[in-house]
């Protein structure tokens, strides 16, 4: 028997076109690619950070060793002793800079006091921190002498704002007064004394050939010679 051929009237072109469609890309593939890139960057960054840390550590170790060698070369014991000495010198210098020499005040009063003026009482008090006041009772032979004393104290750089008051004449005709002034402490700061002993002058020595061409007086006379003993002549009979 002949086999019957079954024919279909359904077009097959549509099925082929559906099979030929390109499959759509999944979003999971893009995420995987980004994850791989980030992982690679993280690994590279970690390796770079590790290498940089090792480099910094080695650099610190080498510099520390160089510092220890340099410190040993400078003798730490000597440096420590010199540092202590420097600290002591600085403390001493600060004490001297802040020291007030009141002996200069007495020297100033002694130099500026006139012959016909004398002071009997002396008081020095601190009116406020850093401010000193001097008070004295004095006697002058006359008002002219008192005026001269006021002029002398007015030229002082230590005694400032001088005030003469309470004028009176005693039984002997002398002028009695009181004196007050503020003390300029900046002028009383300690300074090393410049009145040191002068250095000895060097003694010039010149060789004998340069002393005016004068020869030294030396006795050039020959020493006396003793006569040789003579033998007696023989005489024949």
Find the helix or strand (DSSP H, E) in which 98 lies. Answer: helix 76-98
Shared domain check, 181 and 109 = yes
Residue 139 lies in a domain: yes
Residue among 201, 208, 141 nearest 175 (CA):
141
Same domain, 42 and 113: no
**How many angstroms separate the Cα of 144 from the Cα of each of 69, 141, 151, 174, 190?**
80, 8, 11, 11, 36
Alpha helices in 116-210 (DSSP H): 143-154
In the predicted structure, residue 138 carries a pLDDT above the cut 60: yes
Residue 232 lies in a domain: no
Report which listed range, 38-52, 73-87, 123-137, is most confident.
38-52
Express each pLDDT in 182-236 by its tens digit: 888 887 776 665 343 344 444 444 444 444 444 333 344 444 444 454 444 444 4
Does residue 176 share a domain with residue 107?
Answer: yes
How many other C-beta atoms can be found within 10 angstroms of the C-beta atom of residue 146?
23
* pLDDT at position 43: 92
CA dihedral 194, 196, 198, 200 (to 10 degrees): -140
Q: Which residues pair with 117 in a beta bridge?
A: 140
Q: Give me the number of domains the chain comprises.
A: 2
What digits encode the pLDDT tens for the residues 156-178?
888 888 899 989 988 888 999 99
- The reported pLDDT for the residue numbered 202 is 44
d(CA 181, CA 136): 9
- pLDDT band for position 124 (50/70/90)? confident
| Of 75, 98, 121, the domain-final residue | 98
Shared domain check, 151 and 113? yes
pLDDT tens digits for range 3-61: 555 555 555 555 555 555 555 556 677 888 888 899 899 999 999 999 999 999 999 99
Q: State the DSSP code for 219.
A: -
- Would you say residue 120 has pLDDT above 50? yes
From residue 236, how far is each of 130, 148, 231, 233 by CA, in Å? 127, 122, 16, 10
CA 218 to chain centre: 64
Residues 94 and 142 in one domain: no
Q: Give the range of the structural domain holding residue 54, as residue numbers without chain letter.
A: 37-98
Please give the pLDDT value at position 98. Answer: 66
Same domain, 122 and 69: no
Measured between alpha carbons, how far is 117 from 148 in angstroms, rounded to an integer?
9
Are 190 and 100 contacting, i.e. CB atoms less than 8 angstroms apart? yes
Pair 81, 112 in one domain: no
Tokens coding 205? 């020595």
* 121 pLDDT tier (thresholds 50, 70, 90): confident
* Side-chain half-sphere CA neighbours of 7 within 13 A: 1
- The answer to the question of residue 5 being in a domain is no
Model pTM above 0.75: no
Going from the C-alpha of 47 to that of each of 33, 42, 44, 62, the distances in angstroms are 21, 9, 5, 23
pLDDT score recorded for residue 90: 86
Q: Are residues 157 and 109 in the same domain?
A: yes
In a domain, 215, yes or no: no
């Amino acid at each position: 028997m002949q086999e019957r051929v079954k024919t279909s009237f359904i077009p097959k072109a549509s099925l082929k076109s559906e099979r030929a469609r390109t499959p759509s890309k999944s979003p999971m593939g893009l995420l995987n690619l980004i994850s791989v890139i980030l992982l690679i960057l993280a690994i590279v960054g970690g390796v770079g950070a590790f290498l940089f840390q090792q480099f910094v550590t080695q650099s610190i170790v080498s510099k520390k060793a160089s510092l220890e060698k340099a410190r040993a070369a400078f003798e730490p014991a000597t440096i420590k002793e010199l540092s202590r000495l420097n600290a002591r010198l600085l403390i001493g210098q600060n004490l001297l800079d802040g020291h007030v020499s009141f002996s200069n005040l007495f020297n100033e009063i002694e130099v500026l006091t006139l012959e016909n003026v004398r002071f009997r009482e002396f008081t020095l008090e601190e009116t406020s921190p850093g401010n000193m006041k001097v008070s004295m009772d004095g006697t002058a032979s006359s008002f002219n002498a008192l005026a001269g004393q006021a002029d002398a104290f007015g030229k002082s750089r230590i005694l400032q704002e001088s005030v003469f008051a309470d004028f009176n004449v005693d039984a002997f005709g002398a002028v009695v007064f009181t004196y007050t002034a503020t003390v300029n402490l900046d002028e009383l700061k300690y300074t090393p004394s410049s009145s040191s002993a002068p250095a000895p002058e060097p003694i010039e020595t010149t060789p004998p050939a340069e002393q005016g061409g004068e020869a030294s007086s030396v006795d050039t006379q020959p020493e006396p010679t003793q006569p040789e003993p003579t033998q007696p002549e023989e005489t024949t009979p």
